[in-house]
């Protein structure tokens, strides 16, 4: 009992010294444990909703918010192909790029959930006090680089099934030499991987905003307590 009291006093001293005890979170009577549970709940909910929404047929292709197009500098090349009767091949490439993103998306779930579990109290407090994208930005910092490496093999496997993928890379290579395209966009696999992650974080951000603005709708008592104001 005495040891527990000392730990509470020590934690209170740390909070006072860091200024967190005077933050809006703790001024409203929100405990560290509640802040941590609330942020973990929001992060996991947002991640799962985003992954499930994108990781199926037409999750990307059928959603104009995240649908992956050809890089703008290659649109002229696509127009030339269409003009020479190769519209179908262009459409196949666009479809393949989006299917590759959809196929890779389920890989993100485990990493996102594990990232949620490892979040520190300090990070949780900053997310509670942060803006509409604070949780999403946390995910970007922690997961974008490793998810890029996980996605690439799946994206590559899918796009290699389409013969036009090699022609895409050849045309893109010329565009790079002309200064019309950045290096990462010159490789179809890396371009799709980057766009897939952009779409993932966009959908996580949308879910985060929904939770912050209407935590009651989540049906979660801890989310209502932490983000209910």
Instruction: Write out pLDDT tens, residues 162-195.
Output: 666 776 766 666 666 766 666 666 678 888 999 9
Q: What confidence tier does 13 reach under pLDDT thresholds 50, 70, 90?
A: very low
For the residues 34-47, what does the mean pLDDT come to?
Answer: 86
Are 188 and 170 spatial neighbours (Cβ–Cβ below 8 Å)? no
| Rounded Cα–Cα distance for residues 49 and 136 (Å) | 13
Mean pLDDT of 207-227: 80
Residue 2 lies in a domain: no
121-127 — which CB contacts under 8 Å span 24+ positions? 121/32, 121/35, 121/36, 123/39, 124/35, 124/36, 124/38, 124/39, 124/40, 125/20, 125/23, 125/25, 125/32, 125/35, 127/39, 127/42, 127/43
User: Is 36 domain-assigned?
Assistant: yes
Residue 24 domain-assigned?
A: no
Is 151 a member of any domain? yes
- Structural domain boundaries, residue 77: 31-227
Rounded distance between C-alpha atoms, residue 190 and residue 97, angstroms = 11
The answer to the question of residue 12 being in a domain is: no
Number of domains observed in the structure of the chain: 1
pTM for the predicted model, two decimal places:
0.78
- Assess if residue 142 is contained within a domain: yes
Residue 119 included in any domain = yes
Other beta carbons less than 10 A from residue 185's beta carbon: 20
pLDDT in tens, 115-144: 998 888 888 888 888 889 999 999 999 999
Calculate what percentage of the chain has a pLDDT beyond 90.
37
């Amino acid at each position: 009992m005495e040891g527990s009291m000392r730990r509470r006093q020590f934690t209170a001293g740390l909070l006072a010294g860091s200024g967190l005890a005077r933050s809006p979170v703790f001024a409203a009577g929100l405990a560290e444990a509640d802040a941590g549970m609330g942020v973990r709940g929001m992060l996991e909910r947002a991640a799962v909703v985003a992954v499930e929404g994108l990781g199926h047929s037409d999750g990307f292709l059928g959603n104009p918010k995240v649908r992956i197009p050809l890089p703008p500098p290659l649109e002229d090349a696509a127009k030339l192909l269409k003009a020479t009767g190769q519209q179908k091949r262009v459409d196949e490439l666009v479809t393949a790029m989006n299917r590759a993103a959809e196929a890779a998306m389920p890989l993100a779930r485990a990493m996102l959930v594990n990232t949620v579990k490892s979040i520190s109290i300090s990070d949780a407090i900053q997310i509670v006090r942060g803006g509409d994208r604070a949780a999403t930005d946390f995910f970007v910092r922690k997961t974008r680089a490793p998810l890029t490496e996980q996605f690439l093999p799946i994206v590559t496997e899918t796009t290699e099934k389409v013969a036009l993928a090699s022609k895409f890379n050849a045309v893109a290579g010329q565009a790079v030499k002309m200064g019309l395209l950045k290096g990462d966009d010159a490789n179809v696999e890396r371009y799709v991987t980057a766009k897939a992650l952009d779409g993932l974080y966009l959908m996580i951000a949308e879910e985060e905003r929904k939770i912050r603005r209407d935590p009651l709708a989540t049906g979660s008592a801890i989310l209502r307590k932490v983000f209910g104001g």
